[in-house]
Amino acid sequence: MTSIPNVNAEILQQAQQRIQQDLETALTAFSIPEPLKAAVFHTVMLGGKRIRPALCYATANLSTDQSNYAAVRRAAVAIELIHCYSLAHDDLPCMDNDLLRRGQPTCHVAFGEDTALLAGDILQSMAFEVLGSRLFDQAISVAAPIVLKQMQILATASSKMVCGQVLDLQAEGQRVDQEHLEKIHRNKTGALIQAAIMMAAVTIFEGTDHAIPKLRQYGQAIGLAFQVQDDILDVISDTDVLGKTAGKDEQVDKSTYPALMGIEQAQVYAQELHDQAFQALAYFGENAADLNQISQFLLSRKS
């Protein structure tokens, strides 16, 4: 894995800049009392790779019709808020009890458990508020059926994410087979990554296009690939590079791909999943330049 050159994912940097601005615009639009406001900003604005928003924008860029782009931007914000809520709750003492996230104190370390709990809670409802808002789009409102589809995709993915968490906790200290491990990760990580793609897909293609099933295939492959890569990086990376505690999976005896099949085989599997992802994108030809670039980055990332 380390032999593949790290792609200069320009498209990812552009996405990071856009989502950072849009998240700040969205959060500032809400009236939230302190210390919750500070906890919410801490949890959301610290950065991170912003993979989900980047996939959302890149999927929208499959089409030259950008008339619904404001709804894509709202979807990107909403999906990142859901991701951030899950981080705040995952880090809590009753869950992973993590003290460090993106090189910074986790939300409950900085603000206390009660505020971290409530920050996660409000981030989830704020995600749906953003979807139903007119943020980034004062003039034109997007057709209600599209927003409704976005909501359905987001809500379902959020529920699946929680189910994946439970399956993951249940599997700790147990040897699970590959089928079960995939079930865990298709829910825990895959569902939200796929949702990022599908929320943009239904907005841009409005559900009538052959593109939708291809993007579903792509989302399934890249969502699982992301988690396999995450498992690998937990083994081979340092805490400094990772920005969170490395080696944590083995420490708590988590079921991971390296634990299941060995590190080399896990790397081969990650490559296979990425190949599947690239194959699904082939349908879009040169229009998929952005999605291809992000996929390349995900395969070669170091953290």
Look up residue 273 and give its two tokens: 């999943």
List CB contacts of 140: < 8 A, sequence separation 6 or more. 67, 70
Nearer to its own copies, 199 or 298 (CB): 199
Nearer to its own copies, 72 or 81 (CB): 81
CA distance 93 to 10: 37
Instruction: Burial-class residue 240 by CB neighbours within 10 Å (0-12, 13-18, 19+).
Output: exposed
Instruction: In angstroms, give the least distance from the CB of 23 to its own copies.
Output: 16
Binding positions for its own copies, rule: CB under 8 A: 30-33, 35-36, 85, 89, 92, 94-95, 112-115, 117-118, 120-122, 124-126, 128-129, 131-133, 143-145, 147-148, 151-152, 154-156, 158-159, 162-163, 165-167, 169-170
Instruction: In angstroms, give the least distance from the CB of 236 to its own copies.
Output: 28
Instruction: In angstroms, give the least distance from the CB of 275 to its own copies.
Output: 30
Nearer to its own copies, 160 or 274 (CB): 160
The position carrying tokens 């927003």 is 147
Closest CA to 233 of 52, 49, 105, 82: 49
Look up residue 261 and give its two tokens: 């099949």
Nearer to its own copies, 111 or 205 (CB): 111
Instruction: In angstroms, give the least distance from the CB of 105 to its own copies.
Output: 17
CB 212 within 8 A of CB 200: no
Closest CA to 215 of 272, 284, 271, 269: 284
Nearer to its own copies, 162 or 236 (CB): 162
Instruction: In angstroms, give the least distance from the CB of 279 to its own copies.
Output: 29
